[in-house]
Structure 1
Amino acid sequence: MFTGIIETLGAVIGIEKEETNLHFTVSSAIGNELKIDQSVAHNGVCLTVVALNAGSHTVTAIEETLNKTSLGMLKVGSKVNLERCMQMNGRLDGHIVQGHVDQTATCIKRSQLDGSWEFRFKYDANMGNVTVEKGSVCINGISLTVVNSTANEFSVFIIPYTYENTNMHEINEGDTVNVEFDIIGKYVARLLSK
């Protein structure tokens, strides 16, 4: 379980293919604090730490994960949003995030406003996911508030702190992002569809 509050940016320093799996080695400020078998969200995808080195860790993404997320698009040098799992005695500053990406979306608009940025994303609504205005959504692991929601598109506004301290500053029009829709909204949508 995560909150969508990014702890730090990591940098991919190695990618190794093994059959249909990809092993990602990531260098970060929290690399020396991690433990083997620990869950860490990478761009919103919960992955298990399988190896450690000085200031870096390695995780493995299987084919199922690669097919449903944008992790397969990572390259050496890519910046990755990192968050360790939530502590039960801490504050829930973002929203309830499982680290299970529902689908990807495409950035169709990026515009700089007066002191913030607007990003608009388009997704395949046939998968049954929905957004609501002022509801929560998780983009690349970042807990964000939805604005201007339609059947298959939504916008988010990004404050300077989030823009600078996550990989939002690297997202351009045409780029693919990981999306985890609000868990409560998913259950309501499923119940109403019956």
Structure 2
Amino acid sequence: MTIKPLKYRPSVHAIERLREYFGTSEIHATDYANELMVGAQFVEMAQKGRRVFKSVVEDVMLVIGEGGVIITVLPPPGKGKNNAYTMHEGRLSDVIKAAVQRELTKARRTFTREYRAITEEIAVIGMEIAQLSLNKARARSPITQKHITDKVALIHARQEELAEDRKALKAEYQRLQDEAKTYAVEA
């Protein structure tokens, strides 16, 4: 019995993908990877000199680096975190995801800025109410006390309006995050 030399060596990541997608044990992953490469068709030259091959044995693509190292295995349709071959057939999807991610980041910055501004304004109003309460306690005239009480009621109403605005802002941002998740963008 002769031992045939192995041409390709899968990386640890590629071994994990083979195990995940095809149930191959780690011990037999190298042999299985070489079987996948038998008759594989060249697809394209990817970044950093990596070559992408489509296997004729299974519906899978393999990315080969320098020295015959199998860097990763792209999953068959319906398996894996991303759908099959997103780096080739999903360019529009990648563009959409990037645009949604940019808009979500922009919305996060805007939300944070506005949320902090409203919170600061609420705190300032709280300090103003406290000062007016102190003035009311010091006031001797019932008329002055009544004016201060009326003013506190108006300011407190403004504080409640701001709290509602802050709540609505937070709900809108949460809606944007949920919508971004439909495009598989991490929110």
TM-score between the two structures when normalised by the length of structure 1: 0.23
More strand by share: 1
Indicate the structure (1 or 2) with the bigger Cα radius of gyration: 2
More helix by share: 2
Which of 1 and 2 has higher RCO (CA within 8 Å, sep 6+)? 1
TM-score between the two structures when normalised by the length of structure 2: 0.23
